[in-house]
Amino acid sequence: MLPSAYNSARYVPSLVVNEQMEDGAVLAAIARKDPAAMETFFDRYRVLCYSLALRVLADPQDAEDVVQEAFVNVWRSAPTYRPDASSPRSWLLSIVHHRCIDKLRNRRARPKVVDLDGGMHMSDGHDVWREVADSLTAEEVRTALGHLPEEQREAIELAYFGGLTQTQIATRMAVPLGTVKGRMRLGLHRLRELLQPVERQTILE
Amino acid sequence: MNAYPHDLAAPYVLDALDEDEAALFDQHLTECEVCRQEVVALREVVEVLPLAVDTLQEPPADLRQRVLEAVAEEQHPPATPVRPSAAFWNRGWQPYVAAAAVVLLAVGIWSVMLQTHPSGASAYDRAVVQALATGARVSTLDGQGASGAVVQPRGEKNAYLLVGGLPALPDGRVYQAWFMRGTQPVSAGVFTSSSGQVVTLTASRPALGYNLAAITVEPGPYGSRQPTGRKVLVGSLHA
């Protein structure tokens, strides 16, 4: 005799999704169209996704719409997720961010033209970085951003959280376009260094 | 190395390019290994940026219900079998199997196209007439409000698909073409269509040796391994 909860059509007895399951396994269950896995994934990341969307869009209704679209997108695209390319969390948040920018610029979702992940392109030191990235806390990322030269941090934040284009940022910062590109590039490379374990120790002290 | 457009990698990963620039850089990425590597490395850093959101906020409670309902709706048409059931393939195919001997003439295609898509008829006609003139094998596909043909040119490897009158699909959906031999469908390519547009595309394989073709609606952007969605066009292929 099954517990009464299993009488609900929502439950598929052969697939047990629980709170301890790793993100990768949850996403694999989503790829098999298991609604219980979707609930688990949503509950894990709803706050982070909604907060990111709200930060970029500054509009609660738009933020809700984007989060909903992003999770539906996860449901559809889970079979194409590549665990070796990015963590489930990163993958989900990049979908949320893309949808935010689409909404902000009032454009339709752009189909992915270049499938970098498909060619198994990884950066040098990808595995090391992956471990770093998976263990990072919000505090560590914020601290590292705070250690960037001000103009680099500003260029990155105006783009990522402000949703501005490089041209708009150049106008805002009153510098040539080339300078903006350089600041973004140097800032991102520096951020990567700052988040490596050795430097992280130093800046957190 | 930092000359345009190589210097677009950082704004690209931060989504700070406008659409034209992004399209240009997408194209550039297909040709430049150095930029591909830079994009991959920079994107890994960008992926941790959301953690830096300073104010964490709980979304409204009803969002959860709406997301789960939206996902449940995705299930409806249809219940995404891993492999198509025999019933899926048999449903609606018989008339075409039975009519496998129907030979298709350009005139026939014309009348269909002119009735249903006056705006798109001429481009479609020209393509079909050209195909027939070169001795290609042309097989029609039928569906409600839409028409299509599979063209297998002589001496060319892959088949072409000509499709007219398909409606635009909602975000996240694509049309997928299938060729079938016996009961085993294989994908022949994925495409999108704006409303009523005539689409010509190269199938990802030759049509030779298959006896049926169909176009279904599938989840984008990559389509499905096996057909899961509703059939919008179907027809027999000439031997």
pLDDT in tens, chain A (205 residues): 333 333 333 333 334 556 678 899 999 999 988 888 999 999 999 999 999 999 999 999 999 999 999 999 999 999 888 887 788 998 999 999 999 998 988 755 554 444 454 444 566 677 777 777 777 888 899 999 999 999 999 999 999 999 999 999 999 999 999 999 999 999 999 999 999 876 666 766 6
Q: Do A86 and B66 touch (CB under 8 A)?
A: no
pLDDT score recorded for residue A107? 59
Contacts of A111 in chain B (CB under 8 A): 192, 220-221
Of A50, A52, A184, the CB nearest to B10: A184
Count of CB contacts below 8 A, A vs B? 192
Q: What is the pLDDT of residue B2?
A: 61
Query: What percentage of chain B reaches a pLDDT higher than 90?
Result: 16
Q: What share of chain B is helix, strand, coil (3-state, %, to 5)?
A: 35, 25, 40
Give B19 or A152, the one with higher predicted confidence.
Answer: A152
CA B194 centroid distance within chain: 12
Look at residue B124 in the predicted model and tell me its pLDDT. 60
The model's confidence at residue B239, banded by pLDDT at 50, 70 and 90, is low
What is the predicted pLDDT for the residue at A52?
95
What pLDDT score was predicted for residue B88? 41
Q: Quick check: A35 contacting B, CB < 8 Å?
A: yes
On whether any CB of chain B is under 8 Å from the CB of A95, the answer is no
Tokens of B185: 């469908």
Crossing angle between the packed helical segments B33-46 and A177-195, to the nearest 10 degrees: 60
Q: B14–A160: do the CB atoms touch at under 8 Å?
A: yes
Using left for φ > 0, alpha for ψ between -120 and 50, and beta otherwise, residue B20 falls in: alpha
Element (DSSP H or E) covering residue A204? helix A197-204
Q: Is there a contact between A48 and B56 (Cβ–Cβ < 8 Å)?
A: yes
Give the CA distances from residue B1 to residues B7, B29, B34, B174, in Å, rounded to whole numbers and listed in that order: 8, 14, 9, 38
Per-residue confidence (pLDDT) for residue A204, from 0 to 100: 63
**Site of tokens 């030759």:** B206
The reported pLDDT for the residue numbered B131 is 67
Would you report the helix, strand and coil content of chain A in percent, each value rounded to 5? 70, 0, 30
What is the tens place of the pLDDT at every residue in B117-159? 444 445 666 666 666 767 777 888 888 777 788 887 776 677 7
Q: Give burial (CB, 10 Å; 0-12/13-18/19+) of A136.
A: middle
Q: What is the pLDDT of residue B117?
A: 42
Q: Coil, helix or strand for B139?
A: strand
B56 to A47: CB separation less than 8 angstroms, yes or no: yes
Asked if A172 and B86 count as a contact pair (C-beta separation under 8 A), the reply is no
Put simply, the answer to whether A156 touches B9 (Cβ < 8 Å) is no
pLDDT in tens, B23-76: 899 899 988 989 988 998 898 899 899 999 988 899 999 999 999 999 988 875
Across B206-222, average pLDDT: 83
B38, B48 contact by CB (below 8 A): no
- A52, A123, A129 member nearest B37 (Cβ): A123
pLDDT at position A203: 67
Q: Which residue of A has its CA nearest to B224?
A: A79
Nearest to A93 among B11, B47, B63 (CB): B47
Q: Which residue of B has its CA nearest to A196?
A: B45
Distances (CA, A) of B230 to B84, B217, B221, B227: 12, 6, 17, 8
| Beta carbons of B8 and A181 less than 8 angstroms apart | yes
Bridge pairing between strands B173-181 and B160-164: unpaired
| Helix or strand holding residue A92 (H, E) | helix A88-104
Nearby residues of B121 by Cβ (< 8 Å), 6 or more positions away = B110, B113, B114, B164
Residue among B15, B30, B71 minimizing CB distance to A97: B15
Going by pLDDT thresholds of 50, 70 and 90, the confidence category of residue B90 is: very low
Side-chain half-sphere exposure of B106, counting CA atoms within 13 A: 14
Q: Which residue in B139, B142, B144, B145 sits closest to B203, CA to CA?
A: B139
How far apart CA B178 and CA B180 sit, in angstroms, is: 6
Q: Is A171 in the B-facing interface, judged by CB distances under 8 Å? A: no
Q: Give contacts of A38 with chain B, Cβ < 8 Å.
A: 67-68, 71
Helix (H) or strand (E) holding B199: strand B199-202
Question: Within chain B, where are the H helices?
Answer: 9-13, 19-29, 33-46, 62-75, 86-90, 94-98, 106-116, 121-133
- What's the gap in Å between the CA of B85 and the closest CA on chain A? 17
Kindly list the residues from chain B whose CB atom is less than 8 angstroms away from the CB atom of residue A124: 41
Angle between helices A60-77 and B62-75 (to 10 degrees): 30
The answer to whether the Cβ–Cβ distance between A75 and B74 falls below 8 Å is: yes
| pLDDT grade for B203, boundaries at 50, 70 and 90 | confident
CB A154 within 8 A of CB A168: no
Residue scoring higher pLDDT (A156 or B82):
A156
Contact B14 A98 (CB under 8 A): no
pLDDT for position B128? 65
- Look-up of token digits 């996240």: B172
With cut-offs at 50, 70 and 90, classify the pLDDT of residue B165.
Answer: confident
How open is the CA angle B188-B193-B195, to the nearest 5 degrees?
145
Which residues does chain B have within 8 Å of residue A67's beta carbon, measured at their own beta carbons?
59, 63, 67
Could B15 and A122 be called an inter-chain contact, meaning their C-beta atoms sit closer than 8 Å?
Answer: no
